[in-house]
Amino acid sequence: WRGSSSPGMDTRGIQDPADYYYRRVFTDAVRAVDAARTHPSVDPARIVIAGGSQGGGIALAAAALSDDVSAALVNQPSLCHYRRALQVVEGNAYREIWTYLRTHRESAERVFRTLSYFDGVNFAARAHAPALFSAALMDDICPPSTVFAAYNHWSGPKDIRVWPWNRHEGGGYFQDLEQLRFLRGLPGLGATR
């Protein structure tokens, strides 16, 4: 990457979409799906992409960019609706961007342009697999409004579980059970023999 960045990974190459750190991360995620599909122990017709927090944002991108994904399980995804997230939280990954913008004020629109290429909301609009999302209403790391933005833009069949009293841990074990029920209800993914 070129240019300056804040400590951490979220601002590496943030001035240009071609150099941005998540470009490589999302490419790796898609390649991981491709690699899994070729493994002899994997049924390529039953690929499910799952992740939470940063992994949820990566799962959004991988589901949108991979062909023939059977389902996506997306828990409290970060990397969604960056501008909104930066308006309501300053913690964790968003803190890196917030810190960068405090010292590179003149670059704000350029930064948000780069981030738009990697925003889970934009990937959600390209995704067609059935998806189960989760949002925790007291989450101060991945604000629920940003999760709902991605969920509302998901173009495939979708459902969401909302955990009103939870923070970033979301539904925890209870969400795991919801995900199993969701997958069992999908054609081709339910219980077999």
Catalytic member of 66, 81, 139, 153: 139
Our answer to whether residue 28 is catalytic in this structure is: no
Residue 59 lies in a domain: yes
In this structure, is residue 158 part of a structural domain?
yes
Whether residue 192 lies inside any domain: the answer is no
In a domain, 166, yes or no: yes
Domain count, the chain: 1
Say if residue 32 is exposed, middle or buried (CB neighbours under 10 Å; 0-12, 13-18, 19+): middle
Domain residues for 176? 21-184
CATH number of 143's domain: 3.40.50.1820
| Element containing residue 97 per DSSP (H, E) | helix 92-103
Whether 168 is catalytic is yes
Q: Does residue 189 lie in a domain region?
A: no
- Percentage with pLDDT > 70 across the chain: 94
Mean pLDDT score of the chain = 93
Burial class (CB in 10 A: 0-12, 13-18, 19+), 97: buried
Write out pLDDT tens, residues 138-189. Answer: 999 999 999 999 999 999 999 999 999 999 999 999 999 999 999 999 998 8
The string of pLDDT tens digits covering residues 68-96 is: 999 999 999 999 999 999 999 876 778 99
Q: Is residue 105 part of a domain?
A: yes
**Is 107 known to be catalytic?**
no
53, 70, 78, 134: the catalytic one is 53
The answer to whether position 9 is within a domain reads: no
Q: What is the DSSP string of 103-141?
A: H-GGGHHHHHHHHHTT-HHHHHTT--S-EEEEEETT-SS
Query: In this structure, is residue 71 part of a structural domain?
Result: yes
